[in-house]
Amino acid sequence: MNTKYPVLFSPAKIGNVTLRNRTVMAAMGMSQSDNGFVNKAVLNHYAARAKGGVGAIVVEVTCVDTPLGLNTNGMLVIDDDKYIPGMAQLSGVIHEGGAKAFLQISHTGRGARRKIIGERPVGPSEVAMPYSFMMGLGNETPRALTIEEIKAIEEKYAQAALRAKKAGFDGVEIHSVGYYLGQQFLSKTANIRTDEYGGSRKNRIRFHLNIVKRIRELCGDDFAIIVKLSVVEQGKDGGISIPDGIYYSKALQDAGVDAIEVLAGKWSEESGKNEKPESAYPDCMAVPLCQVVKAGLFLTTGRKKKIPLIGGGRAQDPAKAEKALEKGSCDFIFIGHGLLVQPDLVKLIEEGREDEVRPCIGCGHCINQQLQHGGRAICSGNAVLARGDNDDTLPPAEKKKSVVVIGAGVAGVEAARIAAKRGHSVDLYDSSGKIGGQINLADKPPFKDHFRLLKPYLERQLELTGVNVHLGKAVTKEDVLSMNADAVVCATGSKPVSLKIEGAHRAIFAKDVLAGAETGRYAVVIGGGSTGCETAEYLAKQGKNVAIVEVTDTLAGNTGKTAQTILMGHLKGMGVKMLTQHRAERITPDSVICTDKDKNTVTLKADTVVMAIGERPDASLYNELKDILPEVYNIGDSNGGGILPNAVYEGYTAGCKI
């Protein structure tokens, strides 16, 4: 028993299923199946988390009705017996790791896209999905399901549960959150039916109650049923009130559901100035909703709730999770992205090694890569996630080498860390007086709270792996040659570029602003990528009058869709002037002269002009060494840059190759 967090690490039951502790891995779509079938990547992914100490794993969203129920091409499927053998392997590796196995069963409904399913989506009613907070997409108006079709889908859910039982799963979770069909039936804005499936709370919950009843008939009482439930649907188009959510919770409790994973659904055409991105989410943010449900059930029934509640939402801080459990706010803690970035998170906490846990920084690349770009989910911290077969085995080096890494940004630190873990002797150099590279500036804009957690982790990893760190040392070609290293890794970063326009010398760079450079009252940011927009927000929060000039028609297009939506809401709410399809032509002592797409001239007042049009790789050292030394690598921004997950992946790969 862990004495620091005794409740968190105490066993507890969901139905008749006993978990070794009170942690539950939340279902998160990874889109890494082979046409719906379990493959090696899926097996390795869940095996690592089971071995990592979590009490139960809810396997990612799994389709009960192809093609209409799909949300990505890589989604797992359970609508036919042919999927049972692979699912049996999956439950097996989870059980071997000591965790209990639940399968999340789902239908995407109106959230599906024609390009995925090949036809018009379906839903409770002919109401198009609004601007979805997660997806960032407006879908076409769905075709309303007939009663016969609804009953057929209910049966498909139940048959999927039976297949899960045959495959060895301990239970299923019915997905009723987000843009999925379960939530659509519960929402009075998505469901405007006037028949037995709409109009009243009793009718809107009928879909779920029929599914639960049929699963019980097919699978018996020992097979656990969880419902992942939106107890409130927020935003302009929200259709689930708190009283609705309490009513649904009571109905599910009365129907014999074994647990509710409590969340909020969200639809928002405009996120507004008060919304926070995931990089600033509070810890255990969904736990207060559990308290609402708990209080609501007591007020409704006059008795304490019987059904276990699973709460969480950025629940990586074990002290806060313990407090929530101790107070009885919830009965189990669900953990999502924290287990993507650190598969053995629970084990490390149990062993008192919390300082070794890599934090989730809330960048949103996992969701963005999967839902926006149709690929596998990737991670800014875990280089292995959804890459290849998800194999995180680090074989020891066949020959121990002397390795020199130049550049202590994220890519360089990852290369040094991995090479050292494999047994190499590693020296890490950086010309600045600190490690972290771009992270030292990336955490400066507003709402980048969790980015600040990364640097202490990197520093601790260098200590644990015994990397020799040399800061404040600019390394030259001659220096490297004198070191007689067996392998050299160049992670020398990039340099900002400037427009070649009249008056460009009057501008400063975005990184100078974020580093604390003095700025005036009127600022014009040239370049509307993520750096430019975040710098604009940084300045606007200081009360500056800010304008952004961007030559394309999109702002922050290289940002995850959720974060982009929120950022645009912030900028609009603070009155930032956003000029897309405008080109900066000239900078004067007190203005920026621009032209729009029709060649009309626009003059913007400016006593500060900020260049944020991108960076150029600094591969000069690599180019000097690549034809001289036998083993030289170029990684991170000096190799072309890109998103943070790619920098980590390149560092990891270099560390493995040496």
> Per residue in 442-452, pLDDT tens?
999 999 999 99
329, part of any domain: yes
What pLDDT, on a 0 to 100 scale, did the predictor assign at position 363?
Answer: 85
380, part of any domain: no
**Section 2-16 average pLDDT:** 94
Greater pLDDT, 378 or 65: 65
Single residue among 324, 350, 372 that ends a domain in this structure: 372
What pLDDT, on a 0 to 100 scale, did the predictor assign at position 296?
Answer: 96
**Section 159-169 average pLDDT:** 98
What are the structure tokens assigned to 585, written together?
């032509």
The residues with which 135 forms a beta bridge, in sequence order, are none
4, part of any domain: no
Tell me the C-alpha distance between 39 and 635, whole Å. Answer: 30
What are the structure tokens assigned to 564, written together?
């982009």
Q: Which one of 46, 180, 522, 622 is the catalytic residue?
A: 180
Number of H helices, E strands in the chain: 22, 28
In the chain, the number of structural domains is 3
Average model confidence (pLDDT) across the chain: 93
394, part of any domain: no
What pLDDT, on a 0 to 100 scale, did the predictor assign at position 271?
Answer: 46
Tell me the C-alpha distance between 433 and 636, whole Å. Answer: 19
What pLDDT, on a 0 to 100 scale, did the predictor assign at position 132?
Answer: 55
2, part of any domain: no
Q: Which domain holds residue 240?
A: 12-372
609 lies in the same domain as 623: no
414 lies in the same domain as 284: no
382, part of any domain: no
316 lies in the same domain as 194: yes
Closest to 279 (Cα-Cα) out of 149, 446, 507: 446
55 lies in the same domain as 132: yes
What are the structure tokens assigned to 653, written together?
């790969």
178 lies in the same domain as 281: yes
276 lies in the same domain as 416: no
Single residue among 372, 392, 419 that ends a domain in this structure: 372
> Per residue in 331-369, pLDDT tens?
999 999 999 999 999 999 999 999 999 999 988 888 777
6, part of any domain: no
Burial code (b: 16+ CB inside 10 Å, e: under 16) for 574-586 equals: bebebbeebbbbb
CATH number at residue 538: 3.50.50.60
CATH number at residue 652: 3.40.50.720
**Section 86-110 average pLDDT:** 97
314 lies in the same domain as 460: no
CATH number at residue 364: 3.20.20.70
Answer yes or no: is pLDDT of 421 > 90. Answer: yes
Tell me the C-alpha distance between 49 and 52, whole Å. Answer: 5
> Per residue in 643-658, pLDDT tens?
899 999 999 999 999 9
Active site residue 180: yes
587 lies in the same domain as 442: no
466 lies in the same domain as 423: yes
> Per residue in 184-201, pLDDT tens?
999 999 999 999 999 999
> Per residue in 249-266, pLDDT tens?
999 999 999 999 999 876
Answer yes or no: is pLDDT of 140 > 50. Answer: yes
141 lies in the same domain as 266: yes
What pLDDT, on a 0 to 100 scale, did the predictor assign at position 489?
Answer: 98
- The answer to pTM > 0.85 is yes
285, part of any domain: yes
pLDDT > 70 fraction of the chain, expressed in percent and rounded:
97
> Per residue in 585-644, pLDDT tens?
999 999 999 999 999 999 999 999 999 999 999 999 999 999 999 999 999 999 997 789
108 lies in the same domain as 158: yes
What pLDDT, on a 0 to 100 scale, did the predictor assign at position 376?
Answer: 84
Answer yes or no: is pLDDT of 311 > 50. Answer: yes
318 lies in the same domain as 425: no
What pLDDT, on a 0 to 100 scale, did the predictor assign at position 374?
Answer: 72
Tell me the C-alpha distance between 332 and 339, whole Å. Answer: 16
Tell me the C-alpha distance between 366 and 385, whole Å. Answer: 9
